[in-house]
Amino acid sequence: DIQMTQSPSSLSASVGDRVTITCRASQNINNFLNWYQQKPGKAPKLLIYAASSLQSGVPSRFSGSGSGTDFTLTISSLQPEDFATYYCQQSYSTPFFGGGTKVEIK
Amino acid sequence: QVQLQESGPGLVKPSQTLSLTCTVSSGSISSGRYSWNWIRQPAGKGLEWIGRFYASGSTNYNPSLKSRLTISVDTSKNQFSLQLSSMTAADTAVYYCAIDRGRWGAFDTWGQGTMVTVSS
């Protein structure tokens, strides 16, 4: 199995901050990497697919980058509705999610 | 806009078999090259992919669950189902169905999830 390691597991930030979350794969997954946002009591929502492609309807302040084993999700200017937990997921082989990053209000 | 709705028992006894159904609306389960997936999430924990069914008829299962798992489809009802046998407390989770409609293995549409508790 290809394992996914996310960091940090949590972070505190203020509205307007630039936030970066990283995800590392245990082996090369090319760009088969997706990012999700999950709010309490809700299903995850797809934000980014193929490492850097923005899902339709997702605000442009969200962006993804990386290939191979190292990937990044960036929120350019954190908004109140962005406080949530974020997960990466590799789709190169048996789907596997990272452990999540909880973004909290500072 | 395709929509998904999970249904099934909220409570299952240890050693029993869990049966869940995902009903698809505003779209056909037989169309396209989509995969129809089950994913679960224990309370306060991360997401675990369970398995998937392709419209072509093939299935893939998480190796850690494969021996206990069956995913099937009923095209006449536009539904797909999960059966997980020998349930234990470790299987207590919210269970989601989700669709992958692209070529990148991303789950772009999710059901709202259904909570399943394993307890005697």
pLDDT tens digits, B52-105: 998 888 999 999 999 999 999 999 999 999 999 999 999 999 999 999 988 899
CB pair distance less than 8 Å for A94 and B62: yes
Distances (CA, A) of A31 to A38, A95, B104: 22, 13, 9
| pLDDT score, position B103 | 85
A→B interface, C-beta within 8 Å: 1, 32, 34, 36, 42-46, 49-50, 53, 55, 87, 89, 91-92, 94-100
Q: Is A56 exposed, middle or buried (0-12, 13-18, 19+ CB in 10 A)?
A: exposed
Residues in chain B, overall count: 120
Instruction: Work out whether the CA dihedral B40, B68, B98, B3 comes out positive or negative.
Output: negative
Rg from Cα positions in chain A: 13
Task: Compute CA distances B54 → A62, B51, B57, B88, B109, whole Å.
Answer: 30, 10, 5, 28, 15
Instruction: Report, as ranges of residue numbers, the positions in chain A whose pLDDT lies below 50.
Output: none
Q: Is B51 on the interface with A (CB under 8 A)?
A: no
- Mutate which: A42, A56, A89, vs B, most B CBs within 10 A: A89
**Alpha-carbon distances of A85 from A40, A80, B2, B38, B90, rounded to whole Å:** 8, 13, 25, 20, 22
The pLDDT value given to residue A1: 86
Do you find a cis peptide bond into A8, omega within 30 degrees of 0? yes
Q: What's the confidence (pLDDT) of residue B56?
A: 81
Q: What is the pLDDT of residues B7-46, one digit of tens each?
A: 999 999 999 999 999 999 998 888 778 899 999 999 999 9
Provide the residue type at B17 as one letter: T
Q: Is B106 on the interface with A (CB under 8 A)?
A: yes
Assess contact for B48 and A3: CB atoms under 8 A. no
pLDDT at B112: 98
Q: How far is B109 from chain A (nearest CA, A)?
A: 8
